[in-house]
Amino acid sequence: MISGWPMRIVHPDGMVRYGTLASRPSASTQGPLVSCLMVSRGDRFPAEHAIRCYRQQSYTNRELVIVTTAKNSAVSALVTEIADPSIRYIEVTAPTLGELRNASVAHARGSLIAHWDDDDLHHPERLTHQIAALTQTGAKACFLERILLWWPARRLLKTGHARMWEGSMIAHRAIVPVYPARPREEDLFVADAIARLHPVTALDWAEGYCYAVHGGNTNQAPHFAYLFGEATAIEGALDYEAAMAQIGGFMPIGAYAAGLDISAPTRSG
């Protein structure tokens, strides 16, 4: 795939530079170790799809760190079944989502960390492209400026509006501050803190990340109604079925949708 996605490099003093991701970053699939950090409820669904996305990444020097407060969970059994040495499953005691994220950072071995929420989907080249953007720009963190938004209960699959989507963060571990002990929006706090102190890159590549609305998210329906009100149609997709088919070419969105008929996440990002 020849890439030509625009980027904004935003500096703490407000200066903005513009660029384009260098052609064919998929040729550079090796680099520093990146720790993909997943906070899990312990349920097999939908974590199995996020784990599948991790295992399909073209970037090879990676690990997945799964932290949970659940004991003897279905995800633990899944990790044992997969037997992927790059995946570590860790049970911790942490009362809030922010503290769980801190635990995941503490267990990370990489010099880079990537948010890898257990209920969202990722393009196979997400790590490769975002790390290439970091390398090319010299920024300390990379966010996607747009992402895919999926609300299957309402048959909506759109492109989110332009902003730095905190759930898509890949950053140098050394500059990531402590997450606040909050049950929600802890990732937004950290993203804002990083942007105030360090240059960050916003890569305009919506297909890199799909945020799923499944009824068990930490945010409620009015929040998602606002996001979808600001969203636009996916280029080249005339309707929901066409959008699902298009995105299904590189993400396991069809399998995820089938699982929603029999599973209901209870809490996530």
Q: Where are the beta strands (DSSP E) in the chain?
A: 6-10, 16-20, 34-40, 62-68, 87-91, 112-115, 121-122, 141-144, 148-151, 156-159, 165-172, 200-203, 209-212, 232-233
Q: How far apart are CA 159 and CA 227, in angstroms?
A: 10
Q: How far apart are CA 92 and CA 69, in angstroms?
A: 5
**Which CATH number describes the domain made up of 6-11+27-260?**
3.90.550.10
240-247 and 253-260 helices cross at what angle (nearest 10)?
A: 120
* pLDDT recorded at residue 219: 65
* pLDDT recorded at residue 94: 87
44 pLDDT exceeds 90?
yes
Q: With bands split at pLDDT 50, 70 and 90, how would you rate the model's confidence at 222?
A: confident
> Angle at CA 94, nearest 5°, toward 192 and 171?
30
44-55 and 74-82 helices cross at what angle (nearest 10)?
A: 30
Mean per-residue pLDDT of the chain: 91
Q: With the C-alpha atoms ordered 184, 188, 190, 192, is the resulting torsion angle positive or negative?
A: negative
As a whole number, mean pLDDT of residues 201-209 equals: 97
28 pLDDT exceeds 90?
no
Q: How far apart are CA 173 and CA 131, in angstroms?
A: 13
39 pLDDT exceeds 60?
yes
Share of the chain above pLDDT 70, in %: 91
Q: With bands split at pLDDT 50, 70 and 90, how would you rate the model's confidence at 266?
A: very low
Rounded to the nearest angstrom, the gap between the alpha carbon of residue 132 and the centroid of all alpha carbons in its chain is: 16
Domain boundaries, given as residue ranges, for the chain? 6-11+27-260
Tell me the three state secondary structure of residue 65: strand
* pLDDT recorded at residue 225: 78
84 pLDDT exceeds 60?
yes
Residue appearing with tokens 């990676």: 62
The one-letter amino acid code at 213 reads: V
Question: What is the tens place of the pLDDT at every residue in 137-161?
Answer: 999 999 999 999 999 999 999 999 9
